[in-house]
Amino acid sequence: MKSNHLTRRGFLKSTAATATGVGLLQSASGPSFGAVGANERIRAACVGINGQGNTHINKFLSLAENGVDLVALCDVDDEVLQKRAAEVEGKSGKRPKTFRDVRKLLEDSSIDVISTATPNHWHALITIWACQAGKDVYVEKPAAWCVREGRKMVEAARKYKRIVQVGMQARSFPHILERVPQLREGLIGDIYMSRGLCYKRRDSIGFKEEAGPPANLDFDLWLGPAGKHPYHANLVPYNWHWFWDFGNGDVGNQGIHEMDLARCVLNQEGKVKVYASGGRYGYEDQGQTPNTLTVSIAYENGTRLEYGVRGRYTNAEEGVQLGNLYYGSEGFLAGANWGGSNAGYPNQDQTAGNWQPKFGYDGKPFAGKQDFKPAAAFDETYHPHYVNFIEAVRSRNPEDLNADILEGHLSARLVHIANISYRLGRELTFDLGQEVFVGDGAAEANPFLTREYPEGFAVLEEV
């Protein structure tokens, strides 16, 4: 069944046009696997199903009318795996296949697409392996754990002609699809600054002692490409976000949505200067990533991207705590991307800022857009991003995706270079075309663009 939501055609064409360094859009001549026909049912599997992965399960179950069958689940925690399998059986009437090792799942030729909501350090390897196995992928944000991994995901998707969508769901919200092209076309004049806000309360995670992992968890497989680490209960299932070897902090967790929408209206060529500072304020705990971070990214043409993470108590700005602000030569625009006190930002509601442009120093609303309202994007039944993925799986055209892996990579790499600047405590210069740091500090910074991998879990140079 075809949906009636908007698609990305023309949404970010200039991004693709300027992202030419290191062959970003070249399709390598890899094997072409069979495509799902327009009327065939698509058999899906979900990998990493304890937290956000459970959302994936429910979204795919809701796409039965769109010709999708959820046929398999995979998780390294056997208790979670069996619980979710029973839930799927109760909702669909059919028990899915279960796998603890994603490599075994990918050997199953009956599966057409997978989604993955594993920790960030697994995103690249699962996506690359799935592309090599001839499967399309919906991968959670951020696209990758580091810059090099994101590049390899793009190369794998192009080489094996796979459809890879990144879980940056805001790109499928109708009000975003309407507003972003208008901003690029001069709605508030020439944009000189774009800001992303991630003002979401994060409380202390305390300290957990090292111990043996529970019997139901295959911790060695959970670690995978991250290599050997001791187990403690602050890693699984959620707080890995706040440890550098597995996550990217809140700028790469919740914040990637707002970083993405800040990036997509600005120049994306040449070199950028990046400086990030902050800390883990308000408590002492086991976490490593900052709960408060201020990021400045300056482009060669004079435009600027600014980003803020505040994990403690704070005010909203123009009513926005999770969202974006854009500043142009004629006016400004503020808009909340998410809403509701259930997410820890009670000072923001769904209509905060309203994505309504305002002009002049007195901030008069733009009369031509008085009736503009954001979509009800926070309804649990609202799933255009997943529908968009399935439609692109059928069309076999990556340009039909609202969040193609290239877009996911280009936004995630800003997260990564900001975190590297923070960790080194200095301003750095990053060459967007070559995807390396240059100039002062480059020798110290470039090793952070990749990692050392244990045997069997390497993201190889040749994908």
Note if the bond before 230 is cis, omega within 30 degrees. Answer: no
Note if the bond before 237 is cis, omega within 30 degrees. Answer: yes
- Cα–Cα distance measured from residue 374 to residue 353, given in angstroms and rounded to the nearest whole number: 10
pLDDT of residue 361: 75
- Cα–Cα distance measured from residue 331 to residue 365, given in angstroms and rounded to the nearest whole number: 9
Do the strands 191-199 and 304-310 form a parallel or antiparallel pair, or are they unpaired? parallel
- Cα–Cα distance measured from residue 189 to residue 447, given in angstroms and rounded to the nearest whole number: 40
What is the CATH code of the structural domain delimited by 13-171+382-403?
A: 3.40.50.720
Cβ-count burial of 336 within 10 angstroms (0-12 exposed, 13-18 middle, 19+ buried)? buried
pLDDT of residue 28: 37
Report the 10 Å Cβ neighbour count for 107: 11
With a cut of 50, which residues of the chain have pLDDT below it?
A: 1-6, 10, 12-32, 340-343, 370, 376-378
The single residue listed with the structure tokens 């990556």 is 398
Q: CA 410, 415, 419 angle in degrees (round to 5)? A: 145
How far are the Cα atoms of 28, 134, 157 from residue 31, in angstroms, in the given order?
Answer: 9, 9, 11
pLDDT of residue 200: 92
How far are the Cα atoms of 140, 167, 198, 408 from residue 403, in angstroms, in the given order?
Answer: 11, 7, 20, 6
- For residues 194 and 265, the answer to whether their CB atoms sit within 8 Å is yes
The distance from CA 4 to its chain's CA centroid, rounded to whole angstroms, is: 24
Phi, psi of 192 (to 5 degrees): -105, -20
pLDDT of residue 178: 86
Which residues, other chains included, contact 252 with Cβ-Cβ below 8 Å and sequence gap of 6+? 120, 141, 142, 412, 415, 416, 419
- Cα–Cα distance measured from residue 273 to residue 296, given in angstroms and rounded to the nearest whole number: 8
Give the type of residue at 403: A
